[in-house]
Amino acid sequence: MAPFEPKLSRKTRRVRQRHLKMQAAERILMDPDSDVVGLVANGDMTGALRRLMERYGTPLYRYCREALRDATLADDVQQQVFIEAHRDLSKFTGLSTLRTWLFAIARHRVLDAAKSRRRVQAHIEPGDAISVPDPRRSPDELIDDQRILEALVGCLDQLPDKVRTVLLLRFQQGFTFEELAQICGEKPGTLQAKVTRALPLLRACIENRTGGSL
């Protein structure tokens, strides 16, 4: 049942709306990309796009690449994200930072691309390869960072797309859970729980793949 919400008078609604607008304006001023917002306000959309590409082109590409594990697809998605950003920049309301907004677009496009690819691959590939422990190492031996990285790539692939994107946004891109909540449209606590559950799974998978212990 929906919680009871008192009916607000027109004046109260107006005051609340004004307050929200002021909050959004304050957020824009505090946004490290407020200069980009300024360019948008002056109608210089191309200038704003150039700055966004300069700042976030590489991190966004890396996120797409690791989330999709496909260089060509990542390239397409990354470009698509900036094209969409250019189209919608004038509608940016300042409810989040520009970086968060940009990665929210990226997350949607990545999930769409992963979904389309899965649909195609379902007709081609018989299934995931079974991970086999590396026989060269004893279980007690400590795994070096490079081997963790190599195993991690394969283990991330085994996670659901949504969990994988959350892990990448949290650790690769360094978003806080509050920012993640804005990107994913979920509560920070829910996302934190997802991450907390996924990390031990990754650990088990990495140890299984490498045959060592972390």
Partner 1 sequence: MTEPIARIEAALKRLGEEHEPPVGWEARVLAATATPKAKPWWWFAFPVVALAVIAIVVFAWHSTLDQPLQLSVDREKGAVAVRGDSAHVGDIVHAKATGGSRYRAVWVYREDHLVVACPGAPQCRRDGKATIADLVLDTIGEYTIVALTSSSPVPAPAGQLDADLGKTAEMGVHQEHKTLKVR
Closest CA to 197 of 145, 147, 162: 162
Per DSSP, what are the bridge partners of residue 213?
A: 142
Binding partner 1 (rule: CB under 8 A), the pick from 31, 36, 73, 78 is: 78
Binding partner 1 (rule: CB under 8 A), the pick from 66, 73, 94, 175 is: 66
Is 197 a binding residue for partner 1 by CB under 8 A? The answer is no
- Which two structure tokens, joined as six digits, stand for 155? 């283990």
- Packed helices 145-158 and 188-210: angle between N→C axes, nearest 10 degrees: 120
Quote the least distance from Cβ 158 to partner 1, whole Å: 14
What is the rounded distance in angstroms from the CA atom of residue 97 to the CA atom of residue 94? Answer: 6
Is 46 a binding residue for partner 1 by CB under 8 A? The answer is yes
Stated length of the chain: 214
Is 20 a binding residue for partner 1 by CB under 8 A? The answer is no
Closest CA to 73 of 61, 58, 57: 61
* Closer Cβ to partner 1, 59 or 188, answer by number: 59
Residues near partner 1, by CB under 8 A: 45-46, 49-50, 53, 57-58, 61-63, 65-66, 71, 75, 78-79, 82-83, 86-87, 145, 148-149, 152-153, 156, 167-168, 170-172, 174, 199-200, 202-203, 206, 213-214
